[in-house]
Structure 1
Amino acid sequence: MGDRELVERTDEPVTTDRIVDDLRSLGVDTGDTLLVHASLSAIGWVAGGPQAVVDALQRAVGETGTVVVPTHTPQYIDPEQWSNPPVPEAWFESVRASMPPYRPAVTPSHGVGAIPECLRTYPEAVRSRHPLFSFAALGADAAAIAGDHRLDFGLGEGSPLGRIYDRGGRVLMLGTGYETNTSIHLAEYRASVSTERAEHRAPVRRDGERVVVAFEDIETSTDDFERLGAAFERSAEVKRESVGEANATLVAQQALVDFAVEWLEENRP
């Protein structure tokens, strides 16, 4: 969506102060551990763009809180598995051999939006080392949440998602829905459902050298996340408000994950 269209559908400029006030009305508190999934365009025309939103999130949780965002890099999945878009088979080996190593400080995120990509560039931000499923955190517990992200089962217990769960964190969907809610992936690992294993390889940098690492995961799916989210909202307390021009939803991550485990066991093979 271009700036002209954003201006036309925004009643007045969305400012950092307004976003902070709206987040407070939604229920975001000082000291929160907040996992954020956000669409910048949904918020309207923001004075300062994604930086203003990141600053507002940081102010809303305060010095004792932590903001976490997904900074995933699906471009590091093997090119044979690419589908959006696929590439010719003749390219596979060239892509594998030439892909630069994943480096948390410089490798851009892909497909997660402008707000996570902006937050990861803040000097105080800590980004995890997983070459596919990294998260970036900003705030008091940033290092504890984003540090030591295990390569195997990258959205499971040894991931930032597990550490947010342990801290009683909350999930903010800012102009987004459950289809992008990564916390439900944590439930996929915990649920007793049939899952296929996946083997991945990706280049990383170690001791200044490009090294290809191998790691194991499960095949995850978001196909039923919206249906799961609708069921969750019929059974749990969910807070809704407008943040800027966006519809925003705030949920307790533990409640969502626990519900999702049971729902997946009942509704997936």
Structure 2
Amino acid sequence: MLEVKNLYSGYDGRDILKDISFKVKNGENLCIVGPNGCGKSTLLKSIANLLEHRGSVIIDGKEVSSMNKKSFARKIGLMSQITQIYFPYTIYDTVSLGRYAYSKGALSKLSKEDDRIILESIEKVGLLDIKDKMITELSGGQIQRVFLARVFAQDPDIILLDEPTNHLDLKNQIDLLENLKEWISLNNKIVVGVLHDLNLVQYFADNVLMLKDGQIVAYGNPQTVLNDPILDDLYGIDIKGFMTEILKKWE
């Protein structure tokens, strides 16, 4: 289980998140929604122990700040927004970095089991036929899938995803979410993801956490949260009405 208790976090001494508390059970996927600047990415970075915070982030009864790097890497994998590629690795080499948590030393070679997991992870995201291609030659959507495969290869208990469907066409968005659903179901794992597309949230989420100005304003199943009147106030638009009008155009 992932438990966040009374979390405060931010930048340059200013709190972006204020008194955030929630729990996510194994086998559950939680989507975080809210307008730009409400603290969604800050929340993921705080859970991933990349930002100093007050309060607690607890996994299976242990505070994340007390874990060493390898233990932490077996618990949490973060796929953040990718804006630039700095190293000319192949797809295979990039995904193999996910096996760091299981290596016996900095110079240790990949085992047969590592190789199997890496190839399976690449196959999951549909890139096995180009596994030896340099990632500097890939499209934005392909790069997104490479970094998702690296998280799969890491095989953590919890995957944190910051807008994972960015740069992906509709088919690959659905494929990615289906892969995540299968990973959660088969392995009894947890996914916490930031998604902007509320249709995808309806499709994917078991529960939804809605943020406004760094605070939780709604939490529950998608049907409840996304029908809450606060949604329209939050985004400044009649979202359900807009979606319904769009749907009519398909008839």
State TM-score, norm by structure 1.
0.30
Q: Which has the higher helix share?
A: 2
State TM-score, norm by structure 2.
0.31
